[in-house]
Structure 1
Amino acid sequence: METFLTVVGSQTISQAAEKLSIAQPALSQQLRLLERRLGVELFERDARPYRLTEAGVLLKDEAEPLLTDFYGLVEKLQGIASGKRGRLRIGFTRSAMYGALPSAVRAFSEAHKEVELQLHEILTEDQPEALRTGVIDLGIGRDPSASPHISQEVLRRESFVVAVPLSHPLAAKKSVTLSALEGTGFILFPRLENANFPARITALCREAGFVPTVVYEAFEIDSALGLVAAGLGTTIVTSALAAHGRSDVRFLPLDGLPVGVTTDLVGLTIDRARQPLVEAMLTVLREEPIAPS
């Protein structure tokens, strides 16, 4: 079709052949082959200079916008393959928003203006299934369990901190040990199946020699901190969240934890070749520290 339109846009067959960098006999043969495939004559060959038949005029009028649309489609396809166009669906755990995720999303959007970015708040334990079923392309979870066919990449290692009410006896300290919280009421997140974070908090308390007394459970981080601010208990969160803390709660680093104990923000992807857009977002996240630990 491109060959036909090149001929139409040229004054002579020889000029078209020169534009196409092929010999004139070869070009004439291609045009005859096109006519045989279409079952119509496109040129009045007895006319000098050549003229289009009625069928040729119709093909020209219809082919020009089709070819333009085709080139546009090719550009879009190449944009998707190169990671410049398309759609990226990200599932994130709420704590990821207390750090670099907002700035990473902003940086990604500025660099990929043709990409439709969709964000879905999904519990860490639900992200593997969301990846396997194609609901999301990338998960950002907190301390995920291993899951079949899911790859994990640690994006940030953060330390644990305890949030206490301003009126708490420990609030004046610069840091505390976990054992100092024995007897204090804890506000924890519900221990849903496969949820590692609350299970890790309980395990750390046991290692410190006590079983935490859970006085409230909160599904949301903001709710837990609100209960702390109201003087109803303490909770353990990440250093990234503490860096974006609130004035009615005191955040204290935890001393004496086993060496290497951290809470990890992890990128989750399906076990296959990563999409260019997924890799592009991971690159941005790697360059954006979540918060100082």
Structure 2
Amino acid sequence: MVFPSKKSAALDIVLNGLMSRYKERVPDVKRIIRAMIEGGVIERENDIENDHIAFRTMGVAQLGIKSFEKIFLHYGYEKRDHYYFEGKKLDAWWYSPPRQTDPRIFVSELRVGDLSAESQRIIRSYTNEVKQDPVDSLDLDNGFEVDAFLHQPLWRVPSVSDYKHLLQESEYAAWVIYNRYYLNHFTISVHNLPMGYNTVAEFNQFLERNGIRLNTAGGKIKTSPDGGLIQSATVAEMIDATFENGDKLNISGSYVEFAERRVLPEFAGLPYEQISRQHRRDGFEAGNADKIFESTYTTQTGK
């Protein structure tokens, strides 16, 4: 399939816009990249493969995955597997990219109707301000327009009291009510790094030697039952947030993830230099993701 150049150019603008703002907001990104260059792990930032990026959404009319996915489906992404997180009251899907050089996308959605009546009331008092699906009014071939949309308010600035109420029942809800579509995390593919750094276990050691704090929920290393997907993550950066009436509060922002995708058994004999993305374990793992969500939770950021 020949990928349409207009869509390709727009997607590049969107991905670059997401990453540039994300790096400004998450100092750990620059710390990690600088340490990798100074330590001789990579020569330049572009040597890093971005395994996937992730977004969080509210499952309400006009918004949620049904709205958000239109952006990336337009660029050629394909919707893949569904995941359900009962305890966190979330649904999620992942999307495979149109080009091998693009990151996978993981989008989750809060099952708002599963929350208490008061939390639902609070959330809808904000999301009801969105009267129609905002993606429908975008020119998706205009990458700059889409980039701006992903970084603009969807509803009014929340109050501290509403944020704190949601935090008690759903830390995910509290994160989205303030952060909206900000990039939740990007992911370094450690399996493509040089020997000595190309497993999550080894890369975690490198990170901790450089003062990077790791998510410990379920252990620092999260491994899928088939052993093919191994992940870890930093603890979310805390940001100085300004709420309604200028009130200030230090809250969770975004974080960095690390993924090791092992070669599938049927390709075990393939020479290393011939191994590419299609030869490795694809997709995601609900058990791993469940714990990585907690990178923004107070049980991690409060340590």
Higher relative contact order, chain-length normalized (CA < 8 Å, sep 6+): 1
Determine which structure has more spread, i.e. the larger CA radius of gyration. Answer: 1
- Give the TM-score taking structure 1 as reference length: 0.28
